[in-house]
Chain A
Amino acid sequence: DAKTTQPTSMDCAEGRAANLPCNHSTISGNEYVYWYRQIHSQGPQYIIHGLKNNETNEMASLIITEDRKSSTLILPHATLRDTAVYYCIVRAPMKTSYDKVIFGPGTSLSVIP
């Protein structure tokens, strides 16, 4: 699986959009970008994933650049409960990816009142 690079930490004002970047310059053409988050001492929570098109669900939006070398997770209206470590993970194609999730350092997001 390709390696990812994320900022160590970020702050975001409550109610504002949180934009979390991720670089994955060695991503292969058929690898997916996944985002998980972990609120302190809780189990990691799946947020969203995508291949090359932008994706949106009830939690967040995922914007993937055209060359797929980077992506941004957007939390449109951050709340205090969004304070967590966010992990950007690149994974092999679906049919072969019943594999462990490899968690990197992630970004520690602090939402500030």
Chain B
Amino acid sequence: AAGVIQSPRHLIKEKRETATLKCYPIPRHDTVYWYQQGPGQDPQFLISFYEKMQSDKGSIPDRFSAQQFSDYHSELNMSSLELGDSALYFCASVERYRRGTDTQYFGPGTRLTVL
């Protein structure tokens, strides 16, 4: 079965640089969520989109922005990178309003390292 695709899988950046992470949801899934997992921590919700509109927002820094496109893929843009942004970034997707389930399925993640 098709899964959530994230790219790149690994990314190394310098402080103050920018990064763009991409997420391709499971086909027919219209809702996308972004999570950040720092070293030794549990995943923390950042932001979510449904039908290209932001649907919920967590502890996402102002330096980060995200959007969802007409094909439902999403991009997380991170600017002025800081050492503390080094983390695993996961994307999850769900087919909203599909009868009987709202289970979120997670991608393999992007490991961002800021030097």
Residues of A within 8 A of B (CB): 34, 38, 41-46, 49, 87, 94, 97-106
Q: From B46, which residue of chain A is reached at the shortest CB distance? A: A100
Q: How far is the CB of A86 from chain B (nearest CB, A)?
A: 12
Chain A residues with CB under 8 Å of B45's CB are: 100-102
Which residue, of A97, A99, A104, has the highest number of chain B Cβ atoms within 10 A? A99
Chain B residues with CB under 8 Å of A87's CB are: 42
The 10 A-B pairs at the shortest CB distance, nearest first, are namely: A100-B45, A43-B106, A103-B42, A44-B106, A103-B43, A43-B108, A43-B109, A46-B103, A94-B102, A43-B90
Interface pair B92/A101, CB less than 8 Å apart: yes
Residues of B within 8 A of A (CB): 4, 31, 33, 35, 42-45, 48, 50, 55-56, 58, 88, 90, 92, 94, 96, 100-109, 111
Tell me the number of A-to-B contacts counted with CB atoms below 8 Å.
55
Main secondary structure of the interface of A (DSSP, over half): loop
Chain A residues with CB under 8 Å of B92's CB are: 43-44, 101
Q: From B58, which residue of chain A is reached at the shortest CB distance? A: A100
Kindly list 13 other residue pairs between chains A and B, CB separation below 8 angstroms, not including A34-B103, A94-B101: A44-B106, A46-B103, A46-B105, A98-B31, A99-B56, A100-B33, A101-B43, A101-B92, A102-B45, A103-B43, A103-B44, A104-B42, A106-B42
Within the assembled complex, what's the spacing in Å between the Cα atoms of A49 and B102? 10
Chain A residues with CB under 8 Å of B43's CB are: 38, 44, 101, 103
Partner of B42, one of A34, A49, A98, A105: A105
Chain B residues with CB under 8 Å of A46's CB are: 103-106
Within the assembled complex, what's the spacing in Å between the Cα atoms of A93 and B101? 10
